Amino acid sequence: MKIGDLVKQHGVSVDTIRFYEKQQLLTPSAGSEGGYRLYSAADGGKAWPLFYGQKVSALACSKFANCYRLKITKASGNAAM
């Protein structure tokens, strides 16, 4: 699915998706010949906590991204980033 489909599915803005891409918390599975970012259903599923958490927590994208990154780091047993 394209970025617009992900926006509709999760009710977030394109800017939100691009922000999480820049933070390396969301990565498209593939690219189209036309240069579009293509996301799989699994990509959307992995990003769901980001989108949902941001909505219910009222945190800015950057603060929520840091919280999410810390959760991933702790879950994987790596040292803090």
Q: Which residue has the tokens 């599975």?
A: 29
For the chain, what is the mean pLDDT? 79
Q: Look at residue 81 and tell me whether its pLDDT is greater than 50.
A: no
Percent of the chain scored above 90 by pLDDT?
Answer: 7
Q: Which two tokens stand for residue 30?
A: 């593939």
- Whole-model pTM: value is 0.61
β partners of residue 37: 31
**Helix, strand, or coil here: 47?**
helix
Q: Strand (E) positions, the chain?
A: 30-31, 37-38
What are the tens digits of pLDDT across the range 23-52?
888 888 898 888 888 998 888 888 877 777
- Under CATH, what is the fold of the domain 3-76? Multidrug-efflux Transporter Regulator; Chain: A; Domain 2 (1.10.1660)
Cα–Cα dist 61/67, whole Å: 10
